[in-house]
């Protein structure tokens, strides 16, 4: 804990008035100005005495829960204990949420009494926010001086985008059984991927005797995978000019997060491409961390949709379905952005159009889904892929 002494704006005004009145009264010989200077000095002296002394509070703050979905309730909990010998007066502590002050009212407490104060944290905006520290202030009746004590440290609070459960289509199976494979491909197919050490339960018929002989006796087996499994690639347009307003972009982030979580629940591999707050791209190979990444996505001024689509086409060469989530782009702009993914068996464009009464026409030759809310996205998506 640390204590901070602050001269308020009123305090600085009183100091300037005190010095100016004293110098003016001494120079001009006006008794009235000298009396005014003396009054200001006495007020400042009383203010200094009134904020002097120890803070009779021990405060411990926690957040429950630390991660929520946008719009859900989250609470800050203050455990306040009167460590003094006399009752305390009611006062207002101040927590900090993403740089914004959150006032917390502390009631009067008897000596040794502990009280829990529960207050709502704002969850109307998606993102990762710094919460804390908590400060308790002592000030004089005139508000000339202020002394604060800081309690606790800064905690991290994450607000995730809303998740809308959708059905993912099993269509788009790769026709070439000898197509690309990877270490993440599911086992049990007929496509050969690599030679690896024997593991308990492996079929003895898959033992590769030549490789086993080279290792000096350690069994090596052929690793076969199923490369026909549907694979979904998702690209989020983060360019600021693609969206008419912030809510359209928030809906686009919700759509991307919803697709990734639905893929996770269905056991379907997926690749996710967008831009984080730092401007760097990320992909969703680590699916469990995708919600944390989605919470940090912000609109960018320079990274255009075509950049991420090209990167996704190179990274997700085995994708059987590619979903591109954008804003109010017209057919010509969509054509330019999607040149590198025309080879994908199924290509879907989802346009987020919140509060747009006159949106541009959809692309005539692509599967295009225009939505203005999360519920509409679920309904339209299920209609297309059921």
Task: Provide the CATH number for the domain around residue 102.
Answer: 2.60.40.10
Does residue 181 belong to any structural domain of this protein? no
> 132 and 10 in one domain?
yes
Bridge partners of residue 222, in order along the sequence:
195
> 99 and 202 in one domain?
no
Task: Provide the CATH number for the domain around residue 368.
Answer: 3.40.50
> 261 and 219 in one domain?
no
> 359 and 298 in one domain?
yes
Tokens of 188: 């049990």
Percent of the chain with pLDDT over 90: 23
Which residues, at least 6 apart from 149, have a Cβ–Cβ distance to it below 8 Å? 1, 2, 3, 4, 55, 57, 135, 136, 137
> 42 and 76 in one domain?
yes
Does residue 165 belong to any structural domain of this protein? no
Is the pTM here over 0.85, yes or no? Answer: no
The whole-number pLDDT of residue 247 equals: 92
* 130/187: higher pLDDT: 130
* 140/229: higher pLDDT: 140
For residue 119, the tally of other CB atoms under 10 A from its CB is: 14
The whole-number pLDDT of residue 228 equals: 55
Quick one: 53 exposed, middle or buried, by C-beta within 10 A (0-12, 13-18, 19+)?
A: exposed
Q: 256-271, pLDDT tens digit by residue?
A: 888 888 887 777 777 7
Does residue 182 belong to any structural domain of this protein? no
Query: What's the structural domain count of the chain?
Result: 3
> 127 and 242 in one domain?
no
Query: Is residue 252 a contact partner of residue 236, using CB atoms and an 8 Å limit?
Result: yes
> 147 and 11 in one domain?
yes
The whole-number pLDDT of residue 284 equals: 45
> 125 and 49 in one domain?
yes
> 42 and 106 in one domain?
yes
In this prediction, residue 292 has a pLDDT band, given cuts at 50, 70 and 90, of confident
The whole-number pLDDT of residue 17 equals: 93
Quick one: 185 exposed, middle or buried, by C-beta within 10 A (0-12, 13-18, 19+)?
A: buried
Q: Choose one of 225, 246, 273: the last residue of a domain.
A: 225
Which residues, at least 6 apart from 352, have a Cβ–Cβ distance to it below 8 Å? 243, 248, 249, 251, 252, 255, 325, 326, 327, 371, 372
The whole-number pLDDT of residue 74 equals: 93
Q: Choose one of 160, 195, 212: the last residue of a domain.
A: 160
Task: Report which listed range, 149-158, 191-200, 316-325, 361-370, is most confident.
Answer: 149-158
Q: Is the pLDDT of residue 8 over 90?
A: no
Does residue 175 belong to any structural domain of this protein? no
Q: 220-244, pLDDT tens digit by residue?
A: 998 876 555 667 788 888 888 889 8
Does residue 167 belong to any structural domain of this protein? no
> 65 and 111 in one domain?
yes
The whole-number pLDDT of residue 331 equals: 82
Q: 72-94, pLDDT tens digit by residue?
A: 999 999 999 998 888 888 888 89
Does residue 170 belong to any structural domain of this protein? no
Percent of the chain with pLDDT over 70: 85
> 361 and 263 in one domain?
yes
The whole-number pLDDT of residue 337 equals: 80
Does residue 174 belong to any structural domain of this protein? no
Q: 346-364, pLDDT tens digit by residue?
A: 888 899 998 887 778 887 7
> 199 and 108 in one domain?
no
Q: Helix H segments across the chain?
A: 9-28, 31-50, 209-214, 246-266, 290-296, 305-315, 331-337, 374-385
Does residue 172 belong to any structural domain of this protein? no
The boundaries of the domain holding residue 304 are 232-385
Distance from C-alpha of 157 to C-alpha of 166, rounded to nearest angstrom = 27
Q: Is the pLDDT of residue 188 over 60?
A: no
- Planar angle of CA 367, 259, 175, nearest 5 degrees: 60
Q: Quote the mean pLDDT of the chain.
A: 81
């Amino acid at each position: 804990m640390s204590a901070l002494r602050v001269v308020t704006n009123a305090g600085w005004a009183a100091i300037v008035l005190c010095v100016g009145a004293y110098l003016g009264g001494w120079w001009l010989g006006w008794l009235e100005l000298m009396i005014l200077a003396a009054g200001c000095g006495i007020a400042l002296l009383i203010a200094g005495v009134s904020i002097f002394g120890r803070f009779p509070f021990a405060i411990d703050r926690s957040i429950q829960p630390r991660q929520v979905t946008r719009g859900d309730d989250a609470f800050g909990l203050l455990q306040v204990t009167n460590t003094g010998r006399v009752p305390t007066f009611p006062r207002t502590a101040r927590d900090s949420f993403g740089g914004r002050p959150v006032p917390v009212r502390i009631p009067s407490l008897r000596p040794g009494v502990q009280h829990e104060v529960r207050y709502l944290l704002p969850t109307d905006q998606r993102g990762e926010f710094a919460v804390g520290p908590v400060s308790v202030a002592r000030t004089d009746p005139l508000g000339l001086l202020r002394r604060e004590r800081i309690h606790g440290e800064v905690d991290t609070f994450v607000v995730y985008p809303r998740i809308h459960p959708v059905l993912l289509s099993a269509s788009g199976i790769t026709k070439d059984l000898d197509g690309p494979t990877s270490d993440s491909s599911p086992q049990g197919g007929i496509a050969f991927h690599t030679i690896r050490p024997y593991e308990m339960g492996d079929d003895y018929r898959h033992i590769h005797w030549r490789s086993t002989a080279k290792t000096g006796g350690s069994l090596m087996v052929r690793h076969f995978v199923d490369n026909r499994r549907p694979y979904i690639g998702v690209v989020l347009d983060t360019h600021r000019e693609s969206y008419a307003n912030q809510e359209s972009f928030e809906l686009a982030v919700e759509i991307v997060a919803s697709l990734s979580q639905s893929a996770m629940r269905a056991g379907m591999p997926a690749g996710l491409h967008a831009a984080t707050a730092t401007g760097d791209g990320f992909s969703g190979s680590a699916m469990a961390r995708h919600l944390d990444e989605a919470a940090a996505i912000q609109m960018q001024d320079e990274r255009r949709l075509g950049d991420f689509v090209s990167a996704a086409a190179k990274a997700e060469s085995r994708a059987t379905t590619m979903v591109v989530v954008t804003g109010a782009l017209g057919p010509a702009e969509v054509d330019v952005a999607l040149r590198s993914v025309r080879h994908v068996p199924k290509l879907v464009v989802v346009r987020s159009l919140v509060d747009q009464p006159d949106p541009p026409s959809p692309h005539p030759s692509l599967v295009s889904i225009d939505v203005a809310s999360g519920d509409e996205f679920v309904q339209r998506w299920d209609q297309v892929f059921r």
